[in-house]
Structure 1
Amino acid sequence: MVYSKMEEELLRQEVLSSFKFKDKTSEKILDELTQMAAAICDTPISLISFVGLEKQCFKSKIGLNIAETPIEDSFCKYAIKQPDEIFIVKNPLQDIRFKNNPLVVGYPNLRFYAGAPLTTAGGITLGTLCVIDTKDRDLTNLQIKALKILAKQTINYLEHKKEHIQQNNLLKNSISKFNKLSNHSLDALFQLEVNEDKRIHFTYINETIKDLLPHLDTEDFKTHPFKALNFIHQEDRMMVENTFIDAVRHKKDWDITYRILNPDGTISWHQSRAFPDNFPGRKIVWYGSFRDVTDKKNYLELIEKIIFDISHIMRRPIANMLGLINLLEVSDDSDMLNNRKIIKYIKIVSEEIDEEIQGLNENYQKIKTSFKDIY
């Protein structure tokens, strides 16, 4: 694609702004490329130069103790105009463009320059891999070819590094989004690792654990998971510990419900679930969750009570009523006194049934109220 001068300048600055390599590995690799260029071309100075709007900066430099120069003093600004060729200046003192250049008349007293453009796959030339000498000289065809190859390796490395950084940033953003979602979950989601020496520790657990166990030291809990047993009801601790150890030993799913003793003396019901995932070697990673199921437990107990009341408590008055109705059916019209007594008893039993139904409804409404924050 052909860009106008203005478009190319803007695109160059946009691309350059994305190259922010601060790790020592990047610096070492770039320094090795400049060292190789200087060695092959037999020059005391070699640079990886990026051309900006107001200055050129040296991403890597060998044999030079300055980090940047004003753009008007730059040789590289001419080199980037011919992205497919090596730009060579053999005698800058005789070149009208450079004879008064501070880099020529002063330090480093430049007498030879050769710059290989660093052009991206998108056709934007960022700067050069250049070699500089303080004496008159020239490059052989083999050296020119080698400088082109090194320039290509340089831009390939820079683009791969940039892509790696972008992927890392995407990963960090994804992790950040996951944590935001995870920390708003009602479940404490976790990843637990059991390594070769049977050491158990959490490699991840979300912030919900602080809501479930507010008095637990979360950071300490990550490295010492069994400390959570102190918060479990004494009668349930051994069951929880033994079932988990058994699940780890046999690499099987773990699903258990148990009681938690709250600081105020009340009891909550928690459920823990996890499943194993084998990794190379003997390391096993478990994915799971902790959940407060107190409301669910209360709801189930209410349902069980309603079923029990219907099947046991209410059977007696209903049976009595059926018996009384049967007496009415077999009695004759002349036995009015007995009929009145039977009707009286039917009324009593009806009121008893109505009272039981009202009691069941009140219990249900209490549990329903406790669920209002959930549903």
Structure 2
Amino acid sequence: MSPHPANEAQREQAVIRSGALHATGRAELQRVVDLACEAFVAPMSSVSIVFRDWQYLIATKGMKAGVYRRSTSFCGHAIMAPDTIFCVPDATRDPRFAGNPVVTEGMELRFYAGAPIIDDNGLPLGTICVIDVEPREPISPTEAHCLETLAADIMAIFHRHALVPSDEPA
């Protein structure tokens, strides 16, 4: 079960304000997930927005975009600590995920590394993550920096397309 942060109501309002739920199909986001797969030599990557009981995969590589239950979401765990990278080297060995259907059935996810996408008020909207069906070593500081940079780039994409309201007068 994916936990909810203490400031969930405030975080949900930030997701709504950001317009991120309406960013599906943006070419810039697709380039980010493509780059993440290439940089990590990973078969899958996604930009995920966590909202209420759902996880919205708004850009993906190697997996299907769409709406999924937050209860099975690794990204729902990643937003709990917005200042860190959430890494699960082998989901079958992690008691939080060993019985998760995305680990035991279907895609049989093993490795996950995700960086929270943080708004200007420090609230996590979702993540950029890389995923593998094979276990891996924990990510390095350089790889963590790469994911954090991609997360910041995603927020910049939201701003650039006016998905995030500006404080500037019109």
Q: Same fold (TM over 0.5)?
A: yes
TM normalised by structure 2 equals 0.85
Partner of 2:143: 143
Q: Which amino acid aligns with 2:109?
A: L
2:58 counterpart SS class: strand
Question: CA 1:11–1:35 in 2, change beyond 3 Å: closer, same or farther?
Answer: same
Give the Cα separation in 2 of the matches to 1:22 and 1:95. Answer: 32
Provide the rounded CA distance (Å) in 1 between the counterparts of 2:13 and 2:38.
Answer: 32
Aligned residue pair count:
161
CA contact (8 A) 1:118 1:151 kept: yes
Pairing 1:321-360 to 2, within 5 Å after superposition: none
Deviations 1:238-295 (A, max 9, x none): xxxxxxxxxxxxxxxxxxxxxxxxxxxxxxxxxxxxxxxxxxxxxxxxxxxxxxxxxx
Match of 1:259 in 2: none
Aligned to 1:321: none
Report the Cα distance in structure 2 between the residues aligned to 1:146 and 1:29, rounded to whole angstroms: 17
Match of 1:122 in 2: 121
State the 1:163 CA deviation: 5.5
**Structure 1 match to 2:99:** 100
* Structure 1 residue 22: Cα displacement: 5.5
Which whole-Å CA distance do the structure 1 matches of 2:22 and 2:10 have between them?
A: 19
TM, length-normalised to structure 1: 0.40
Distance 1:97 1:159 in 2: 34
Q: Return the offset for 1:158.
A: 1.4
Superposed CA deviations along residues 292-341 of structure 1, whole A, max 9, x for unmatched, are: xxxxxxxxxxxxxxxxxxxxxxxxxxxxxxxxxxxxxxxxxxxxxxxxxx
Secondary structure, counterpart of 2:160 in structure 1 = helix
Equivalent residue, structure 2, for 1:83: 82
Query: Against the structure 1 CA distance between its residues 134 and 23, is the aligned structure 2 distance closer, same or farther, given a 3 Å change threshold?
Result: closer
Higher relative contact order (CA 8 A, sep 6+): 2
CA distance in 2 between counterparts of 1:42 and 1:157 reads 24
Shift in Å at residue 140 of structure 1?
A: 3.3
Q: Which amino acid aligns with 2:148?
A: K
Counterpart mapping for 1:126-205 below 5 A: 126-138=125-137, 139-162=139-162, 166=165
Q: Distance in 1 between matches of 2:69 and 2:102?
A: 11
Deviation at 1:146, TM superposition (A): 1.1
**In the alignment, is the contact (CA less than 8 A) between 2:59 and 2:65 conserved in 1?**
no
Structure 1: which 5+ runs fail to align? 172-375
In 1, Cα distance between equivalents of 2:51 and 2:31? 24
What percentage of aligned pairs have identical amino acids? Answer: 29
Distance 1:22 1:149, change over 3 A: closer
1:69-100 per-position Cα deviation (integer Å, ceiling 9, x unaligned): 21110111111111111100011111111001
Q: CA deviation at 1:64?
A: 0.4
8 Å contact kept, 2:43–2:131:
yes
Structure index of larger Rg: 1
- The letter of the residue matching 2:89 is K
* Native 8 Å contact 1:112 1:135 kept in 2: yes
Q: For 2:32 and 2:72, how far apart are their aligned partners in 1? A: 24
Q: Distance in 2 between matches of 1:66 and 1:59?
A: 6
1:141 shift after superposition: 3.0
Instruction: Quote the offset at 1:28 in angstroms.
Output: 0.2
- Asked whether the equivalents of residues 87 and 116 of structure 1 are also in contact (C-alpha less than 8 Å), the reply is yes
